[in-house]
Amino acid sequence: MNIVLDTVIVSLRKSYSQKVEELRMVLFELEHLQNEVIPELRRKYDLNFRTDEVTIQKLTLEVSEQQRTNELLLIKYQRGEEITQKVVEFVKMFVEKEYSRYKNNKKNSTFGLSESTSTITASKSQPSEELSRLYKDLVKKLHPDSNRNNVEQPPQYWHIVQESYEMKNLQKLRSFHTILCSEQLSPGMFTSTESEKDRLTLEISLLNRKIVLELKRLDSLKSKEPFTFKDLIDSEQWQQQHTSSLQESIQTLQREIEQAKKVFLKLTKGITLKKDDKTILQQEKETFDEKFTNSTYFRSR
């Protein structure tokens, strides 16, 4: 006896498979962009412009700090307070503390599936059977011996799956299982035709939402530096123009710093910091320079 499938279910199954593949392709492109294209662009950019970029970042922070110091001193002056050595030292200490969060700021990027800062992991009450089953399916899918006839999966996926399993991150394993292993939902998992329709409809809706979110991430990456330099980075003419632009920015910032220092001297009437205070400020700048050198300036521009 031939089994006649509901045409609605056939259509939903087809749509589900298409959405899974669409999401998979978006994630593949994200992986390629994050782990191959952008790192290479940053490397090329660093070779030509890192020195100027570091200088701009340092000067930008310096002028901002100086202007903030002047702002607080001006407020005290307008309130009728006397600008004494102690007041100047207090304002300087306050501003340094306020700006330390910018100097120490570190941003982390996640690969593949976007997550909130509070990663949801599997609790002890969640069944370990599902965790093991998902992990085995993913390992089988990603292992080179099992993947010879298919498109090679990015090696980062293997590391993400291993880390997710070790951290018992059931949610992330479920997501990757959907992306990498699911081709079509099995009819055997449904108790009735209507339940399959409902389940497929829900899964398609969730996939659509995920696709929209990942496409936004993709568009965001493409709209930012250094990706915006992709077609220009190897052009000598553009390199010269960009160098000139960076040098102009440096000169502008230097003028702003000088102007801010003049305002500071006028507000303090010649009061200067103690020698020990100057040493502390210099150490702060050196610490910032070291931290900046170990970070990516594109993220803080």
User: What are the tens digits of pLDDT across the range 143-179?
Assistant: 766 655 555 566 667 877 888 888 888 767 776 776 6
Q: Taking residues 229-245, report their average pLDDT.
A: 94
Q: Does residue 183 carry a pLDDT above 60?
A: no
Q: Does residue 252 carry a pLDDT above 60?
A: yes
Q: Does residue 279 carry a pLDDT above 90?
A: no
- For 15-61, write each residue's pLDDT tens digit: 988 988 888 888 778 877 877 899 999 999 999 999 999 999 999 99
For residues 263 and 69, the answer to whether their CB atoms sit within 8 Å is no
User: Residue 51 has what pLDDT?
Assistant: 94
Under the banding of pLDDT at 50, 70 and 90, the label for residue 6 is confident
Give the chain's mean pLDDT: 77
Q: pTM of the prediction? A: 0.57
User: Residue 127 has what pLDDT?
Assistant: 53
User: Residue 153 has what pLDDT?
Assistant: 60
User: Residue 159 has what pLDDT?
Assistant: 78
User: Residue 10 has what pLDDT?
Assistant: 87
Angle between helices 170-180 and 155-166 (to 10 degrees): 150
For residues 247 and 48, the answer to whether their CB atoms sit within 8 Å is no
* d(C-alpha 208, C-alpha 222), whole Å: 21
Q: Does residue 227 carry a pLDDT above 80?
A: yes
For residues 20 and 182, the answer to whether their CB atoms sit within 8 Å is yes
User: Residue 136 has what pLDDT?
Assistant: 87
Q: In percent, how much of the chain has pLDDT > 70?
A: 71
User: Residue 293 has what pLDDT?
Assistant: 46
Q: Which residues contact 160 (CB under 8 A, 6 or more apart)?
A: 111, 112, 172, 176
DSSP type of residue 36: I
Q: Taking residues 76-101, report their average pLDDT.
A: 90
- For 49-64, write each residue's pLDDT tens digit: 999 999 999 999 999 9
Q: Taking residues 193-219, report their average pLDDT.
A: 89
User: Residue 111 has what pLDDT?
Assistant: 28
- At 47, the amino acid letter reads L
Q: Does residue 89 carry a pLDDT above 60?
A: yes
Own/partner long-range contacts of 13-16 (Cβ < 8 Å, ≥24 apart)? 13/184, 13/185, 13/200, 15/200, 15/204, 16/184, 16/185, 16/200, 16/203, 16/204, 16/207
- At 188, the amino acid letter reads G
Q: Alpha helix (H) ranges present in the chain?
A: 7-32, 38-78, 85-103, 128-142, 155-166, 170-180, 193-222, 236-268, 275-293
Q: Taking residues 246-273, report their average pLDDT.
A: 91
- For 114-131, write each residue's pLDDT tens digit: 333 333 333 444 457 888
DSSP type of residue 97: H
Give residue for tokens 């799956």.
161
For residues 96 and 88, the answer to whether their CB atoms sit within 8 Å is no
